[in-house]
Amino acid sequence: MPTQPTYPGVYIEEVPSGVRTITGVATSITAFIGRALRGPVNDPITINNYGDYERRFGGLSQTSSMSFAVRDFFLNGGGQAIIVRLHNGAGSSTITLNADSSPPGLPLVLEAASVGSWGSHLSAHVDWDTKDKSNDQLFNLTIYEKDPETEQVINTEKFLNISTDPDDARYVPRWLESNSELVRVQKDDLGTYTGDYKVSNTRPLETFSIGSPPGSPPVLIEDPVQATEVTDGDHLTDDQFYGSGMEADKEGIYALEKADIFNLLCIPPYASSTGGIPSSDAQPTDITTGLIAVANGYCEKRRSMLLVDAHSTWNSKDKAKSDFSDNSYPGITSKNAALFFPRIKQPNPLREYQIEEYIPCGAVAGVFARTDAQRGVWKAPAGQDAKLNGVSQLSVPLTDDENGELNQLGINCLRAFPVYGRLVWGSRTLEGADRLASEWKYIAVRRTALFIEESLFRGTKWVVFEPNDEPLWAQIRLNIGAFMNNLFRHGAFQGTTPKEAYLVKCDKETTTQNDINQGIVNILVGFAPLKPAEFVFIKIQQLAGQIET
């Protein structure tokens, strides 16, 4: 009785119902880790369509296998992706705006917002047509970005009345950091701003084309200062993905520690077919088995799934079967990973739409997302509805018998069928080989369990520090039971009644007095999973003449 009665009369109290709704988490947020033309490094950026990727990371590039995988993800129904950009020695372009000789001051050095050769196409222009022309600390700054092919300006940022005064609200380092997508002020060796900048632009008045239509007169402005030229660096190696101290620093694959949740992980090729670093003129074809093992372990920790691509040398069923059977690739047996074979072929817009070979993980992740949205995470992302959009060919055509040999090993096949086109035609985890007899044989079963685990993990945090006795246990049963019953009503489990489909147990049998003394509450949640119908037998019998009696 929280209210202390002081006068005769009626008192109203609101009593909590004990209902705390558990909301199901997302099931198909896909993380991509790899090389990109531009964008933040070691920082997970959430995008919702391929237009977002083009704006933040530069779009398709022959040096970025990730760019094609992300495109395929959204082309096949993907809804949300997390991009982690890595690089190996990419430079950062700078623009130096020289300081006046009187009064003395440090030059203002602008730096491209992210590393990469894209910054080499930036330029900056300064003028002093400000609101207070007597204030020599105020100036206007215009940043231009040119198209590397046409030399036309494709992006412009203009900042008026910014200041070199650290006490000014529009102090140039802070203002650019908050408002510019193209440049930042370069920090000193201690990672700070000096606060003692002086800016001038003594370049002569020249003509400079700022994107006028061909044939039109150029616009007359003061010639901007060009950025320094840098490169995109070398191909990635394992060292950019994992290594000593990287997990603590949240770098490489561990940059995903800064992301709230992801359900699927795709790592496009960065190494050669032999596992080494590709030559400067060669394209990456694979990822190493060492990274696959690290990525799989991280996925198990984060309750997500790793999508593994077929090796680039798997040009036949026999090669795939041999390498997989002797464990040379992918080198893991895991309930949180799945492998898809063969690779896909698509037109390449960067090479006049010639047909080239690509990894399937992005397209398959899109099929996962589409299936989740249409049917639910408990539906196997395979079958006639699992069409691979934008895929014109498969690198290795497979027959039913060849598919059967690979399927019993746990290799998911991509198939081409008349009318239906290219389909995902397998739904097993890398623990799905028949001889393993694993309870996590099927992707749909494993993903349903991960979905329930993550939802309950997030939805039961209110339990912490509550009095550990029957009233709490009753609330737990009520809330988890409501969540599980909702899944049952949506067709997520076997059985015709809730009792057949799931159970939720939390009482003195699951939580003993010793558990209570240690501050532990034990909750038992069970479910009867739906398993895909992999093999359909139709029995046909010829009826002989029947004698009625």
DSSP secondary structure of 510-534? TS-HHHHHTT----EEEE-B-----
Return the pLDDT at 2: 65
Asked, for residue 405, whether it belongs to a domain, the answer is yes
- Residues 246 and 283 grouped into a single domain: yes
How many domains are there within the chain?
2
- Per-residue pLDDT of 474-510, as tens digits, reads 999 999 999 999 999 999 999 999 999 999 999 999 9
Among 410, 186, 191, residue whose Cα is nearest residue 310 = 410
What distance in Å separates the CA atoms of residue 414 and residue 426, rounded to the nearest whole number?
7
- Residues 260 and 356 grouped into a single domain: yes
Task: Let me know: does 468 contact 521? Beta carbons within 8 Å.
Answer: yes
- Residues 75 and 120 grouped into a single domain: no
What distance in Å separates the CA atoms of residue 438 and residue 112, rounded to the nearest whole number?
51
Asked, for residue 495, whether it belongs to a domain, the answer is no
Return the pLDDT at 545: 67
What distance in Å separates the CA atoms of residue 118 and residue 35, rounded to the nearest whole number?
14
Domain boundary among 197, 226, 255: 226
Q: Which residues in the chain come in under a pLDDT of 70?
A: 1-2, 99-105, 200-222, 545-549
Domain of residue 377, residue span: 30-87+234-445
- Residues 286 and 245 grouped into a single domain: yes
Return the pLDDT at 494: 95
Global confidence as pTM: 0.92
- Residues 277 and 330 grouped into a single domain: yes
Return the pLDDT at 369: 98
Return the pLDDT at 201: 57
Return the pLDDT at 402: 96
- Residues 275 and 401 grouped into a single domain: yes
Return the pLDDT at 275: 77
HSE value, Cβ hemisphere, 13 Å, CA-based, for 413: 23
- Residues 214 and 261 grouped into a single domain: no
Task: Let me know: does 394 contact 422? Beta carbons within 8 Å.
Answer: yes
Contacts of 264 (CB under 8 A, 6+ apart): 28, 29, 30, 31, 304, 305, 306, 307, 365, 368
Asked, for residue 404, whether it belongs to a domain, the answer is yes
Q: φ, ψ for residue 436 (rounded to 5)?
A: -80, -25
- Residues 411 and 319 grouped into a single domain: yes
